[in-house]
Structures are given as structure tokens and as C-alpha cells.
Structure 1
Amino acid sequence: MALKKVTAAIGRGLIAGLCGTTAMTLSQQMEMKLTGREQSTGPGDMVASLLGVEPKGQSERETFANVVHWTWGTLWGLPRGVVSLTGAKGGKATVVHAVIILGIDFWILHKFGMRPPPWRWPRKEVAIEVLHKSVLALATGLVYDTLRG
């Protein structure tokens, strides 16, 4: 496989991942308004712990969580690029990408003690997680395929 093809997939993946994160963030904001759920700092807290950093105060904690959210979401465009290198595109690639995102996110949340395995979550919480990660995968895929032409 040519280096040019791989680097193009990486670049498109990062751009698409940023756009997908924007869409997911909007869906999360709408869902939180409807459900009254508070914004989580959990992923940011986990990354801070892994890096050995301690945000000072709630404001820094929320800012760090936001940076983690956008970085992590944008990086989810990379597996979409890898999926495209197999020749998959459109709905098939989006489904594969969504499964990758959900599988790894569920594993990480459990592995680092943030949540029990997903089969022990309340159904509503699983549905919310699946909804937002599906929005991420769908928006990322649409942008990726548009950039790919």
C-alpha cells in the first residue's frame, strides 16, 4: 500500500473525526437538555489520572475534560480511515466504525474502573451511549466519504 494513500486516509480521518465530534457534541447537548443529565468529567478525570496531572478546581477539571472530549473524538476519525483502506465505504464502513468505537469505549470505561461492563448498565444509559457514538460514526463517515470523493 502506498504511503500517499495511508497519509491521505489519516488526514481525511482526522478532519472527519473533528466534524463527527462536533455532531456528537451537539447531540449530547440536546440530550442533556431533554434528560437533565449533567456533563461528565469522567473521561477527563481518567486521562488526568493516567497522565499524572491534577486540574485545580472545577473550572480546570471541566476545561481538561473538554480538551479530552475533542481530542478523543477527533482521533476516532483514524479508525474510519483504516476501514476505508480495506475498500469499505458508505453504510458498511459506518457500521464497522461504530462497532469499533463502541467496543473500545465500553472496554476502556470498564478497564479503567469508570463503569461496570455495559450489560450491567441501565438500558437508558446504554441507549444514550449508543446514540451518541452512532452520531459520531455517521457524521464522521459522511464527511470522510465526501472528502474521499
Structure 2
Amino acid sequence: MLTKEKSSMMGSIVRGMAAGVAGTVVMTAFQKFVEMPLTGRETSYAPADFAERILPIHPTTEQGREQLNWVTHFALGTMWGSAYGVTAHTGMHGAKAIAVVFPVVYTGDVLLNTALGLYKPGTWTAEDWTVDLVNKFVQATATGVLYDHVFKPTQAS
């Protein structure tokens, strides 16, 4: 008889981090192949701007800035995944967990970037809000689905 083994909090967080990386891959593909062709939006360097604001890292080449952008993009996705892992550890999964994690992490993201002077949401158009919300909701949803179906705890007998 198969029974679900209770995972440790650390195991849930690590699986969440892995799901967050994979969810970020999904969001990035969505941005590149769906959202950006529809909106005409150029590549965002918001992740690099964030890293440069909080860390003593300031690339001097375009290639260095692109690398910092990618690393930070995936690091932030990893953080979103760890939040899902913590929520899943409490027993909440699927749409319910996404509905808890997404607004908390998204609001924190907007507030922190605004406090750092990187975002000016009061000047955003409806399209700006839609693009930001949809892209990050794709990431959060993909992370949750991947956590629950790919990175779920192993079964024990």
C-alpha cells in the first residue's frame, strides 16, 4: 500500500525552489513567444536593476548586465517557488495555494521595488499592469502546477 510520506519543511522549500526555477522557464517562454510579440515590449532589465540596487554588483559590459539580469530573474523565481513550498508544506496545494502565494509575493515585489525607487506603479498604464500581473501569474501558476505534479514528495510503502 502506498502512503504519502510527510516531507520536512526544508524538503518542501527545496522542491519549491526547483519548481520556481522551472516555473520561471515557463514564464520566460510565455514572455518571449506570446506576450512580447503581442505587446511589442522589449526585454526588461528590472531584475538587473534590482540586483544592482541591493548588491555591490555593477557590470561594466552589456554582456555582464545581461548575465546579471538572467541570474537575478531566476533567483527571484526561485524565491517565488520557496514561498509555494512553504505554503504546500502546510497542506495547501493547487489553485488555493496559488491564490494565497501569488498576491502575497506579488504585492511584496511591487512594494519592495517601489521602495527602492525601481517601480513607479502610479504611472503604469492598464497595459503595464496587465503585462506585469499576467507574466508573474503565469510564473506562479506554473510553479504551483510543477510543484504539485513534478516535484511532489516521493511515495513510500
Q: TM-score, normalised on structure 2?
A: 0.85
Distance in 1, Cα, partners of 2:127 & 2:39: 11
User: What percent identity do the matched residue pairs reach?
Assistant: 34
Deviation at 1:92, TM superposition (A): 0.3
Q: How many residues align?
A: 146
Counterpart of 2:101 (choices 89, 97, 100) is 97
Are the aligned partners of 2:27 and 2:136 in contact in 1 as well (CA < 8 Å)? Answer: yes
Are the aligned partners of 1:45 and 1:61 in contact in 2 as well (CA < 8 Å)? Answer: no
Greater relative contact order: 1 or 2 (C-alpha under 8 angstroms, separation 6 or more)?
2
Counterpart code for 2:19: A
SS in 2 for 1:148: coil
Structure 2: runs of 5 or more not aligned: 1-5
Residue 62 of structure 2 is aligned to residue 55 of structure 1: no
Distance in 1, Cα, partners of 2:38 & 2:61: 28
Q: CA RMSD in A?
A: 1.7
Q: What residue is the counterpart of 2:127 in the other structure?
A: 124
Structure number with larger C-alpha Rg: 2
Deviation at 1:75, TM superposition (A): 2.0
Distance in 1, Cα, partners of 2:102 & 2:29: 18
Cα pair distance change 1:56/1:135, threshold 3 Å: same
Q: Which protein is richer in helix relative to its size?
A: 1
Structure 1: runs of 5 or more not aligned: none
Are the aligned partners of 2:84 and 2:144 in contact in 1 as well (CA < 8 Å)? Answer: yes
Residue 77 of structure 2 is aligned to residue 79 of structure 1: no
Distance in 1, Cα, partners of 2:108 & 2:49: 18
Deviation at 1:119, TM superposition (A): 4.8
Are the aligned partners of 2:12 and 2:88 in contact in 1 as well (CA < 8 Å)? Answer: yes
Are the aligned partners of 1:101 and 1:133 in contact in 2 as well (CA < 8 Å)? Answer: no
Counterpart of 1:12 (choices 11, 15, 18) is 15
- Divergent runs of 4+, >6 A: none
Counterpart of 1:29 (choices 14, 28, 32) is 32
Distance in 2, Cα, partners of 1:4 & 1:35: 42
Are the aligned partners of 1:24 and 1:135 in contact in 2 as well (CA < 8 Å)? Answer: yes
Deviation at 1:104, TM superposition (A): 1.3
Are the aligned partners of 2:27 and 2:135 in contact in 1 as well (CA < 8 Å)? Answer: yes
Structure 2 counterparts to residues 96-115 of structure 1, below 5 A: 96-115=100-119
Counterpart code for 1:100: V
Please list the CA deviations of residues 3-28 of structure 1 after superposition, one character each: whole Å capped at 9, or x if unmatched.
95112101210111111101111111
Deviation at 1:62, TM superposition (A): 1.4
